Amino acid sequence: MNYQEQPQVKLAQAVRILHNTGLLEVWGHISARVDEKSCYVLGHLHIDGRLLSGTTPDDIVKVGLDGKLLEGMGRPPGEIYIHTEIYKRRPDVNAVVHHHGQACITLSIVDQEVMPIWTQSTPFVEGTPIFDRPEQIDNPEVGAKVAEVLADKRGAFLKGHGAIVVGQSIEEACVLSVVMERTARMQLDAAALGQPKPIPRDSLVGGMTRGLTMEELTESYWEFFVAKYPLF
């Protein structure tokens, strides 16, 4: 396998992208499924006084779906159970992001979900349900409740806390996280002018704007972000 294609490298790259787009600062993390029993995830860096802008593949640790460290020198995030409980319930999910986008948090405070109001946000046409408990997801029981709220959706809000985005790949989860926050900002801006209106479902093909596929959305944005915020 090409070194740059290894999941630890892609995760480190995604962390830098999400940091530079304002979604990860001190806290927040992204993971990738390894198999049915484990995943890779960003370890704690702020405990060592490090910034996410300096994330490297060596900062990625391997964790069992019981939340215990399997490989790596770092410590798994305290909210590892966001990731593990979703992987247990969603075989279609291969990557999970937990971010703290301010616009998403603002919407969650007033019980509003992200709406498909522009062409690139239509992947969220099924909504972003809200976990109504502003607390840390630091044990399997709470993680399971979050996974239940997420259900089969692509994203969910944690009220007054942050958001979760899932994808079939690291690239998809990363790109959709950026799209989610941009959509939330547009929705807040539009609400100042009037009532935001979603794109009608009959204008969509397979849940996407006609002429745009998830693959095209993911690949185009990922390549752009990699060029703008290179890991190497």
- Rounded mean pLDDT of 173-201? 96
Give the pair of three-digit tokens for residue 123: 């992947």
- Rounded mean pLDDT of 177-206? 95
Average pLDDT, the chain: 93
What domain range is 205 assigned to?
3-228
Number of domains within the chain: 1
pLDDT at 4: 47
- Rounded mean pLDDT of 102-106? 98
- Rounded mean pLDDT of 41-56? 78
pLDDT at 61: 96
Q: List, as one string, the DSSP characters of the chain.
A: --GGGSHHHHHHHHHHHHHHTTS-SSS-EEEEEEETTEEEEEPP-GGGT--GGG--GGGEEEEETTS-EEE-SS---TTHHHHHHHHHH-TT--EEEEE--HHHHHHHHTT------SGGGGGGTT---EE---S---SHHHHHHHHHHHTTSSEEEETTTEEEEEESSHHHHHHHHHHHHHHHHHHHHHHTTS---PPPGGGEETTEETT--HHHHHHHHHHHHHHHS---
pLDDT above 50 (res 101): yes
Question: pLDDT > 90: what percent of the chain?
Answer: 83
Q: How confident is the model at residue 228 (pLDDT cuts 50, 70, 90)?
A: very high
d(CA 70, CA 136): 23
Q: What is the CATH number of the domain that holds 207?
A: 3.40.225.10
pLDDT above 80 (res 179): yes
d(CA 18, CA 229): 10
Name which residue leads in pLDDT, 29 or 4: 29
pLDDT above 60 (res 71): yes
pLDDT above 90 (res 47): no
Lowest mean pLDDT among 1-15, 143-157, 194-208: 1-15
Contact 24, 100 (CB under 8 A): yes
